[in-house]
Amino acid sequence: MFFLKELPTRLMIEGYAAKHASLDADAVEDALGLMRRASLMVRRLEAYFAEHGLSQLRFLVLIVIDREPHRDGLSVGEITDRLDVSKPVMTRTVAHLVESGLIAVEADPNDARGKVVRLTPAGRAKLAEVLPEYFVLLSALGRREPDTGEEA
Amino acid sequence: MFFLKELPTRLMIEGYAAKHASLDADAVEDALGLMRRASLMVRRLEAYFAEHGLSQLRFLVLIVIDREPHRDGLSVGEITDRLDVSKPVMTRTVAHLVESGLIAVEADPNDARGKVVRLTPAGRAKLAEVLPEYFVLLSALGRREPDTGEEA
DNA sequence: CTCATGTAGTTATCATGGTAACAATAGGAA
DNA sequence: TTCCTATTGTTACCATGATAACTACATGAG
């Protein structure tokens, strides 16, 4: 998240760019603008997921499992690989999703250390409930000047 | 933060775009790519700040005070206004910066509820130490294909 | 087989974001 | 002046990211 509301003016950046060679004022401006825009998008999406009892990460876990229907479930580690978060966060997130009944976890028959994570019917239903508007939201946010009602 | 490493393929998005009108596949792709890029940038910057005993937010507090040299310090609320975080987070952040000696806080002579926050010489020195490379980093991150060594 | 090493996932603890509810003060209406 | 209401900042507590260190099991060298 990037919290600065008023980004540095072009002038301030160029002041720095003048003093330090190898500094591309356009790139600096892009980077700041990008982080600010993305932060607002992420907030908007988190709010949307919260309305559906999810979070961005919990949603992505469901997506990632659903995205590989040829596999009969994924291990916790495989999910972690696809979503760069730390292992403990994934442990907690999986536990949460199991409690909500959106995924089911079984012991891996081939490896007593491992677990196999699968979507439950409720999990698939939740995806179906959330996905369409998710894409609509992304579509709106992706357009320039998204006008999401943020920032006075 | 947006954690998905492998973004949905063009094909998957268009599959959805076909089913739901008012869905702009380009915009969806842009939004996802933007959030992913920004997340990696923010991580990179946080790592940089951590090397200097700061965090993104603590740094921005210093910046925001420094940016208004005509004012003799800002109130906690004014800082909060410029950085959209919640008030309790700002209370904690200000306390942290006072402990590190980078800012000093006094009672507001005109309002017994308020506080005036000012940079200390150490705070100004910290900014001078951190700012140049911050802009260099932003400049590098802002260019396309930043090649920051992330993601195998 | 046995043991050293590696891997899967968890636990403990911290950092840092949020909301709700509060105390203390300010400031205007009566 | 006396209250009612708004504002400043804090406290208490929760959510969710991280790292370090752990348990339990796997696996290959000997």
Measure CA A147 to chain center: 21
pLDDT of residue A145: 56
Q: Are B146 and B140 in contact (CB under 8 A)?
A: yes
In a domain, A151, yes or no: no
pLDDT of residue A23: 84
- Neighbouring C-beta atoms of residue B118, cutoff 10 Å: 14
In a domain, A149, yes or no: no
Minimal-distance CA residue of chain B relative to A85: B3
Residue nearest the C1' of D27 (CA based): A111
pLDDT of residue B11: 87
Summary mean pLDDT of chain B: 91
Chain B, 41 to 100: residues with Cβ < 8 Å from chain A are 41-42, 56-57, 60, 63-64, 81-85
pLDDT of residue B9: 85
Least Cα distance to A90 among A77, A99, A71, A107 occurs for: A77
In a domain, B29, yes or no: yes
- Asked whether residue A26 falls in the same domain as residue A79, the answer is no
- The residue whose two tokens read 């492998």 is B6
CATH of residue B115's domain is 1.10.10.10
In a domain, A74, yes or no: yes
Residues of chain B contacting residue A129, judged by C-beta atoms under 8 Å apart: none
In a domain, A45, yes or no: yes
In a domain, A2, yes or no: no
Q: Do A27 and B132 touch (CB under 8 A)?
A: no
Residues 71-90 of A with CB under 7 A from strand C: 75-78, 80, 87-88, 90
What are the CA-CA distances from residue B26 to residues A13, A36, A37, B30, B33 (Å)? Answer: 31, 20, 17, 6, 10
Q: What are phi and psi of B106, to 5 degrees?
A: -130, 160
- Asked whether residue A62 falls in the same domain as residue A122, the answer is yes
Residues of chain B contacting residue A89, judged by C-beta atoms under 8 Å apart: none
Q: What digits encode the pLDDT tens for the residues B63-98?
A: 999 999 999 999 999 999 999 899 999 999 999 999
- Asked whether residue A63 falls in the same domain as residue A100, the answer is yes
Cβ within 8 Å of residue B51, ≥6 positions away: none
pLDDT higher than 70, residue B32? yes
Q: Write down which residue in B51, B76, B92 finishes a domain.
A: B51
Residues of chain A contacting residue B60, judged by C-beta atoms under 8 Å apart: 3-4
- Greater confidence (A24 vs B45) lies with B45
- Neighbouring C-beta atoms of residue B129, cutoff 10 Å: 12
- Span B32-45, average pLDDT: 94
- Asked whether residue B46 falls in the same domain as residue B59, the answer is no
- Span B122-134, average pLDDT: 94
Q: Are B7 and B32 in contact (CB under 8 A)?
A: yes
- Asked whether residue B123 falls in the same domain as residue B58, the answer is yes
Amino acid making up residue A25: A
- Asked whether residue B60 falls in the same domain as residue B31, the answer is no
CA atoms within 13 A on the CB side of B92: 7
Grouped pLDDT means (10 residues each) for chain A, 152 residues: 89 80 86 94 95 96 95 96 96 98 97 97 96 92 61 38
- Asked whether residue B118 falls in the same domain as residue B67, the answer is yes
- Asked whether residue B30 falls in the same domain as residue B59, the answer is no
Strand partners, B4: A83
- Asked whether residue A122 falls in the same domain as residue A137, the answer is yes
Strand partners, A83: B4
Q: What digits encode the pLDDT tens for the residues B99-112?
A: 999 999 999 999 99
- Asked whether residue A14 falls in the same domain as residue A76, the answer is no
Cβ within 8 Å of residue A104, ≥6 positions away: A98, A117, A118, A119, A120
In a domain, A1, yes or no: no
In a domain, A150, yes or no: no
Q: Which of A32, A82, A85 has the CB atom closest to B138's CB atom?
A: A32
Using a CB–CB cutoff of 8 Å, tell me whether B21 touches chain A.
Answer: no
| Token output for B73 | 């310090």
Total domains in chain B come to 2
- Asked whether residue B97 falls in the same domain as residue B137, the answer is yes
- Asked whether residue B47 falls in the same domain as residue B118, the answer is no
DSSP string, A21-76: TT--HHHHHHHHHHHHHHHHHHHHHHHHHHHTT--HHHHHHHHHHHT-TTSS-B-H
Domain residues for A47? 8-51
Q: How far apart are CA B48 and CA B130, in angstroms?
A: 9
